[in-house]
């Protein structure tokens, strides 16, 4: 492996962040310390313009995809693989609000205990509502004609609740940037817990929908 700051292939000194050696043009290993936001050249933020991200994703793939290095040396092929794996991992985080929120918490560098320690959220109001939703889901009869409609309805309901949590996270992160405090991060952690809970509910809906598809053949 080349020592930091020099091209592994020709030994030329490299500028700080440079995926290709400006002297010999050979691909360099990715910088391990970059976070998902930096990888796509953006400031860490909860609000991400997913539409604007797509061209960046394609551009990254065009530069680094293993297909572009199929006839190159094993080392170059490995670096290309590492770059693209990283791009794919990062975009997965950026596209997913839950992973994105978790990444922001990690980046804040401060550890906040989530209110429930990863178990179900404790708020009685929330638990009541959740139980009601679950009951409604259990009542759906997948052999009934209205099964798809009822699943869609429940799915949309929970999706709206997720959107509300995203709103909470977005606001808390904005406040955090202006005046950092543990209260902000705790509010984000709480929203993450509830989102996880909603996610699990949506997975249930998915499973029922699968069963419905099976019925349809």
Which residues in this chain contact other proteins in the complex, by CB under 8 A? 1, 54, 58, 61-62, 65-68, 70-71, 73-75, 78, 81, 84-85, 88-89, 91-92, 209-210, 213-214, 216-217
End-to-end CA distance of the chain: 54
Closest to other proteins by CB, 65 vs 137, is 65
CB of 49 to other proteins, least distance (A): 17
- How far apart are alpha carbons 104 and 203 in whole angstroms? 24
Residue 210 phi/psi, 5° resolution?
-55, -50
Q: Least CB distance from residue 33 to other proteins, whole Å?
A: 16
Output 15 or 217, the one with its CB closest to other proteins. Answer: 217
Q: SS3 of 135, please?
A: helix
Considering beta carbons, is residue 77 or 108 the nearer one to other proteins? 77
Give the tokens for residue 70: 């199929």
Burial class (CB in 10 A: 0-12, 13-18, 19+), 149: exposed
Looking at the Cβ atoms of 124 and 217, the one nearer to other proteins is 217
């Amino acid at each position: 492996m080349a020592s930091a700051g020099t091209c592994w292939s020709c030994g030329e000194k490299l500028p700080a962040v440079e995926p290709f050696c400006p002297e010999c043009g050979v691909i360099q290993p990715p910088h391990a310390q970059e976070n998902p936001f930096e990888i796509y050249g953006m400031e860490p933020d909860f609000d991400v313009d997913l539409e604007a991200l797509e061209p960046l994703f394609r551009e990254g793939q065009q530069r680094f995809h293993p297909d572009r290095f199929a006839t190159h040396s094993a080392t170059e092929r490995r670096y290309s693989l590492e770059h693209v794996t990283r791009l794919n991992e990062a975009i997965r985080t950026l596209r997913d609000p839950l992973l994105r929120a978790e990444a922001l918490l990690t980046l804040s560098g401060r550890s906040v205990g989530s209110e429930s320690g990863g178990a179900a959220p404790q708020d009685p109001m929330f638990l009541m509502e959740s139980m009601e939703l679950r009951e409604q889901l259990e009542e759906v009869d997948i052999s009934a004609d209205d099964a798809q409609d009822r699943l869609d309805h429940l799915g949309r309901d929970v999706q709206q609740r997720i959107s509300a949590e995203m709103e909470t996270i977005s606001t808390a992160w904005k406040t955090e940037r202006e005046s950092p405090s543990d209260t902000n991060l705790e509010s984000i952690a709480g929203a993450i817990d509830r989102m996880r809970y909603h996610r699990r509910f949506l997975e249930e809906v998915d499973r029922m929908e699968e069963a419905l598809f099976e019925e349809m053949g």
